[in-house]
Amino acid sequence: MADWNTESQTNGLTLSMIAGYMKMLYCQPMRTWSIIYSVLFIILLAWESNPAIAADPWSKQDKILEGVYLILHAVDMGQTLDIASHPDKYYEYNPVLGKHPTKSAVYAYFIGTTMVHIGVTHWLPKRYRPWFQGITIGLSGGCVLHNFNIGLRVRF
């Protein structure tokens, strides 16, 4: 049985490194660099988890669904930038960004989540891609629709 103390190893990372990283994320205010480090950490874990498996080729449906998601995600980013421009009128629901994010934090978050989404979609087996893309399209579409209904516009 493994001893899960701070010196245990997982994929080349010690648990104390992971714990320290998580403490940094959740004990300090979310800043642009924290978001960037989060994205890099997720990419590192994904890369280390299964480097020998090749991704399935993308079908036409995969490409179309990813394009729809990316458009909705870009619109959501523009609306979130509108929130950042009007902190007296609106606030952000996303706990990662906080109620009143800066524009640089918004850009970093959306660039990072775009990279993660494309990476996850790429490495998912072919039969699971439409499910993942459909769920994320639904979530993004719901956010965009809600934002339009409360008066937010797309601003870059």
Global confidence as pTM: 0.66
In a domain, 93, yes or no: yes
5 shares its domain with 76: no
pLDDT, tens only, 71-123: 999 999 999 999 999 999 999 998 899 999 999 999 999 999 999 999 999 98
138 shares its domain with 113: yes
76 shares its domain with 111: yes
pLDDT, tens only, 131-140: 999 999 999 9
Contacts of 73 (CB under 8 A, 6+ apart): 110, 113, 114, 117, 140
Share the mean pLDDT of the chain: 79
102 is in which domain, residue-wise? 31-149
As a whole number of angstroms, the distance between CA 51 and CA 33 comes to 27
Q: Are the CB atoms for 71 and 63 separated by under 8 Å? A: no
5 shares its domain with 68: no
77 shares its domain with 145: yes
Tally of structural domains, the chain? 2
CA atoms within 13 A on the CB side of 88: 0
Please give the structure tokens belonging to residue 15.
Answer: 């648990």
